[in-house]
Structure 1
Amino acid sequence: MNAISKTDKKKDQPELHSEVKQDIRWSTLMRNHAYMHTCGICGKGFSQQCHLQRHQWIHMNEKPFVCDICDEAFSQKCHLQQHQRGHANEKPFACAIDGKAFAHNSNLLRHQQIHTNHADEKPFTCDICCKSFTQSGHLQQHQRIHTKPFVCDICDKAFSRKCRLKDHRRIHTNEKPFVCDICGKAFTLNSDLKRHQRIHTNEKPFTCDICGKSFTQSGHLQQHQRIYTKPLACDICDKAFSRKYLLQQHQRIHTNEKPFVCDICDKAFSRKRQLRQHQRIHTNEKPLLCDICDKSFSRKSHLQQHQRIHTNEKPFVCDICGKAFALNGDLNRHQRIHTNEKPFTCDICGKSFSQSGNLQQHQGIHTKPFVCAICDKAFARKYIFQRHQRMHTNEKPFVCDIHRSQGKSKPISGMNHMCTGHSCKSAK
């Protein structure tokens, strides 16, 4: 038995050796073949001629695969397919741990890092502002904020991302490729279409994880959440802010600093955004359009304020009494009731006011800007000035209700006739 088995082994050995040699030869051939199709521009090797051709489209900037919805072009078919999932809202890649779905496999892989032990590591650091990121792609994307390499060839406005430039160009071309399938309304941006569709669905996907309040837009949620976190305090009046730039803007109220100057009329502003908004007065530009009623606005804040008329949304909540407001300015004015803050001070007599309008009205006492052209008498308030002018013109725009009820319609110059021409009892 031993002799037979040894003989069999000897017979099998040449066959085994030949199989191993054949495997080695085949793997060597495949390894060599992998670099047979080489790009003449960058030297990258490919195993198949078709892969090389596809790669060379990158160098030639050739993009034969075009999206039939928005006309965006791609050099590879797989990139087109990934892009089209955005239109279809298709998310075939699901996380096996928490079930969250994604349109692209790369997004799933990035998401899965949350579940790993190294999720908190941020090895990629920006050498300009020292901000750190978990992925090199996020760092590259962030660094464009500092450079803004994509410039509009019409108005020279610069953007950190190519997609932002493409979106911006539609303002000039008035192109609206994104159409609501319910009402047929068209939009320049896909994000605008999604926001609009929530009007039909009444969807509020953005929920505060502290109080559970829901919002139709992520920006409204972010504004709401700042109620809970205000770490930056003004060293003059102790008012707290959620962001450093808001604190800096606020401090200019105390210093009256206005570093941003209009190059057309020399008007100065404490905020750069206010200057940009002001300059639209000269250009009459109103680029922001309401997606419900088509009314246009020169300022984003005015558009947002206007849209709350349609939604009846009140995202600004007083953290003391819980009262809600549609406008942030209304909330700020309301909060002065609790704080008794009076930041607007008259530079002549030192009297302080809680609202800028009240200060302007008060300052008229010192200046009396309304002067009668007939007798040169000056007035602090417009309505008193108008009442005075009726003495010269003998204008009597008001009719007594008691005289009217008696069949008379004698005009009177002022409303105090009710107490002087009749008894106060009869006037009531």
Structure 2
Amino acid sequence: MATPAVSHLEKGKGSNGRGEDLSRTHKCGECGKEFRRLSGLKRHMRSYTGKRPLRCEDCSKQYSRLCNLKRHMRTHTGERPYKCDKCSKQFSDQGNMKSHMRTHTDEKPFKCEECGKQFGRMYHLKSHMRTYAGEKPYKCEECSKQFSVLGGLKIHMRTHTGEKPYRCDECSKQFSKMCSLQKHMRTHTGEKPYRCEECGRQFSRLCNLKSHVMTHTGEKPYQCKECSRSFRTSGNLRRHMRTHSD
């Protein structure tokens, strides 16, 4: 018997050969979402009931859908079946691979309605939106520093634990952040992905490109509070400040 949350549209023609009519639509009475199969609707309904019948045998975490359990199991096995065609980086989840692909295409489909800034990943947009509210829900238990995203807290915790999980395959040097490892790898590969549009000069780090661009624009955003002298980089300002302290 159908639940009150389920309604069926009129049955049409067509069968998959197993007695299931695929042209018949199963509709959720809660949100109106439609499904080709009743099994799909039943899985969807668990999002309302909270039912999670599938359990991981390694850590007992529970899931409502088999695909979610399979994706979780890769955190135990280390399996990464999804591979980027551009740089061969591998991922355990197809969604993460698709998000990564935007780093090559520069696609940014998620847009802030407040300022128009665009992002390649939804969680980056959500993190950005917290800057308007000043919301920082993730707190370090060691020093009480707070963060707007969980990832920021996890990275920060390594300053307390000394953990450096990212290792260079070339020289075995270790890093606490993936982005730091990626920057380091360019010292081995010679890759310079950041290019100046004015003169074509290329750089391995974005901060170096930004500093270089100022040689064209004449911009000097770092100012000495002692003598008001301006500098292109914070490093040059710090070196200058020593002349006042000596």
Whether TM-score is above 0.5 comes out as: yes
What's the CA shift for 1:108? 0.7
Select between 66-75 and 162-171 the one with higher mean Cα deviation.
162-171
Counterpart of 1:199 in 2: which secondary structure? coil
**Distance change in 2, residues 1:98/1:328 (3 Å):** closer
Aligned to 1:158: 174
Deviations 1:276-298 (A, max 9, x none): xxxxxxxxxxxxxxxxxxxxxxx
Distance across 2 between alignment mates of 1:88 and 1:40: 39
What's the CA shift for 1:112? 1.2
Cα pair 1:148 1:161 within 8 Å, conserved: no
In the alignment of these two chains, the number of paired residues is 197
Return 5+ residue gaps in structure 1 as ranges. Answer: 1-17, 177-186, 207-214, 231-239, 241-317, 344-428
What's the CA shift for 1:166? 4.5
Distance across 1 between alignment mates of 2:231 and 2:183: 38
Q: 2:59 aligns with which of 18, 27, 42?
A: 42
Aligned to 1:142: 156
Q: How does 1:2-401 map to 2 (within 5 A)?
A: 22-23=3-4, 30-31=45-46, 34-116=51-133, 119=134, 124-125=139-140, 127=142, 131-146=145-160, 147-150=162-165, 151-152=167-168, 155-169=171-185, 171=187, 174-175=188-189, 187=191, 192-196=192-196, 199-200=199-200, 216-217=209-210, 224-228=220-224, 230=225, 319=228, 328=236
RMSD: 4.5
Distance across 1 between alignment mates of 2:50 and 2:228: 70
Cα pair 2:196 2:213 within 8 Å, conserved: no
TM, length-normalised to structure 2: 0.60
Distance across 1 between alignment mates of 2:212 and 2:201: 19
Cα pair 1:94 1:101 within 8 Å, conserved: yes
TM, length-normalised to structure 1: 0.37
Cα pair 1:34 1:48 within 8 Å, conserved: no
Cα pair 1:126 1:132 within 8 Å, conserved: no
Distance across 1 between alignment mates of 2:231 and 2:62: 66
**Distance change in 2, residues 1:58/1:155 (3 Å):** same
The structure with the largest helix share of the pair is: 1
Identity %: 28
Counterpart of 1:91 in 2: which secondary structure? coil
Larger RCO, structure (CA 8 Å, separation 6 or more): 2
| The structure with more radius of gyration | 1
What's the CA shift for 1:148? 4.1
What amino acid is aligned across from residue 65 of structure 1 in structure 2?
Answer: Y
Distance across 2 between alignment mates of 1:135 and 1:219: 31
Deviations 1:252-305 (A, max 9, x none): xxxxxxxxxxxxxxxxxxxxxxxxxxxxxxxxxxxxxxxxxxxxxxxxxxxxxx
Cα pair 1:93 1:105 within 8 Å, conserved: yes
Distance across 2 between alignment mates of 1:218 and 1:323: 10
Counterpart of 2:193 in 1: which secondary structure? helix
What's the CA shift for 1:69? 1.0
Cα pair 2:54 2:64 within 8 Å, conserved: yes
What amino acid is aligned across from residue 227 of structure 1 in structure 2?
Answer: Q
What amino acid is aligned across from residue 67 of structure 2 in structure 1?
Answer: C
What amino acid is aligned across from residue 60 of structure 2 in structure 1?
Answer: G
Cα pair 1:91 1:102 within 8 Å, conserved: yes
Return 5+ residue gaps in structure 2 as ranges. Answer: 8-27, 29-41
Distance across 1 between alignment mates of 2:6 and 2:185: 57
What's the CA shift for 1:73? 0.4
